Amino acid sequence: MAMAMKVEIIHKETIKPSSPTPPDLKTLKLSLLDQFTPATYTPIILFYPAGAERSQNLKTSLSETLTLWYPLAGRLKDNAYIKCEDQGAKYVEARIKCPLSDILNKPDVEVLKQFLPASIESPEAATGNFLLVQATFFDCGGLAIGVCISHKMADAATLNTFVRSWAATANSSSELVRPVFMGASIFPPIDLSIPMTPVELMQRKCITKRFVFSASKLAALRAKVASTSVPKPSRVEAVSGLIWKGVMTAVRSNFGCFRPSVWSISVNLRKRLVPALPENYSGNCVGFIGPKNIEDNELELQELVGRIRKEMEEFGENYVKKIQEDGALLAICDFSKEFGELAKSNHTDFYVCSSWCKFDIYGADFGWGRPIWVSSTSTEVRNVAILMDTRDGDGIEAWLTLSEEDMALLESNQELLEFAALNPSVPLS
């Protein structure tokens, strides 16, 4: 399947802001959180059943959107600031000789990578374009829009805000979201010289698989993991606990012994700071919780969910408080000291879970309706989980990247498969 479905690049060009960036906005300082973020791309792919021959509208609206999102047309300098000289974003036009339904039928992660204009780990994220877009047109009239934004400039919330802002511009919608670039004033940067190369941590031979938790299965899972300490577990807590347990079981089988582990989950700081930051705050604004299992015993699912909830509650009391009282630098240093060595350790498994749930990316209507599917893709970094809403907003798609040995056992884990389907076809309606 992967070999038969080939995306053909038709055209490449640079899209610049429709209006020049004013002189007083030519330099945008990175925030401290931006400085510490690795130089990779944050990707997303949106699939639409209609949208053929809309390339000119996409380009025109992208140019208009870049007027508001002018840093995305700039270039990174010394991990300190963005030089906003309207250098532009890369736009790629492509075609694929198959109907959209072929892609949605048990999606192949290797095929999906062809719908992105750059690899996630591309060094261009540090040295070149902040924003790359690829519009791929299908024989049936369908369209895939692949977006890559440098993680130095955008977390998942910012990527979502940008895509919806671009869609609103294309659709002449009154729901246009204007970004706010205020990171340096909230998290003041420091003189920090870190080589901006793609992340190498945990970069080993690995494989990515997609697990889908339907709304009904997820409701059953939440009921199963509920306890007196966590009577109403969230969707993310329930899925995280189940996957974490399944991965630990796989690792124990492969190594023949228990291995300590950390299940780190990203947390959006925007609403947790006092006063809260606006939702259209653009840039990196993420902290992490790190529930651990260091005891040599097999914990029950409810206990793992309880540890996740406990870390989340303490996050607000400790990490956020430290940011506001002692500054972001000290909070980051304390987190790095506690978990940095664990992440590099050969004796502790470190997993990174990023939740993109509740962003309503399915609301991105460019003028031809909502996307039929929004997807992630594979990465070269192992022990990563990305959680995304299903189209109905009630289920979760989990994109997991693990070692081939661990994945081979996880994908046959019966407790996981009781609630999750392994790479089902995407419903066409």
- Which of the residues are catalytic? 151, 365
Cα separation, 183 vs 45, in Å, equals 27
Q: How far apart are CA 391 and CA 373, in angstroms?
A: 7
Structure tokens at 281: 């705050």
* Cα 280 to Cα 326: distance, rounded to the nearest angstrom: 25
Place of tokens 């409701």: 219
Count of C-beta atoms within a 10 Å radius of residue 333: 14
Residue closest to 197 by CA, chosen among 113, 264, 124, 135: 124
CB 378 within 8 A of CB 401: yes
Please state whether the peptide bond connecting residue 198 to the residue before it is cis, i.e. omega within 30 degrees of 0: no
Question: Which residue from 215, 213, 231 is spatially nearest to 223, judged by alpha carbons?
Answer: 231
**Number of residues that this document lists for the chain:** 429
In single-letter form, the type of residue at position 154 comes to A
- Is-contact 272 316, C-beta < 8 A? yes
First-to-last alpha carbon distance for the chain, in angstroms, is 23
Burial of 3 per CB tally in 10 Å (0-12, 13-18, 19+): exposed
> Cβ distance 380 to 201 under 8 Å?
no
Q: Are 123 and 6 in contact (CB under 8 A)?
A: no
Task: Work out the burial of residue 257: count CB atoms within 10 Å of its CB; fewer than 13 is exposed, 13-18 middle, 19 or more buried.
Answer: exposed
Q: What's the DSSP call for residue 180? A: B
In three-state secondary structure terms, 232 is coil
Contact 362, 426 (CB under 8 A): no
d(CA 190, CA 187): 10
- C-alpha count within 13 angstroms, C-beta hemisphere, residue 411: 17
Q: Under a CB-based contact definition with an 8 Å cutoff, are residues 306 and 237 in contact? A: no
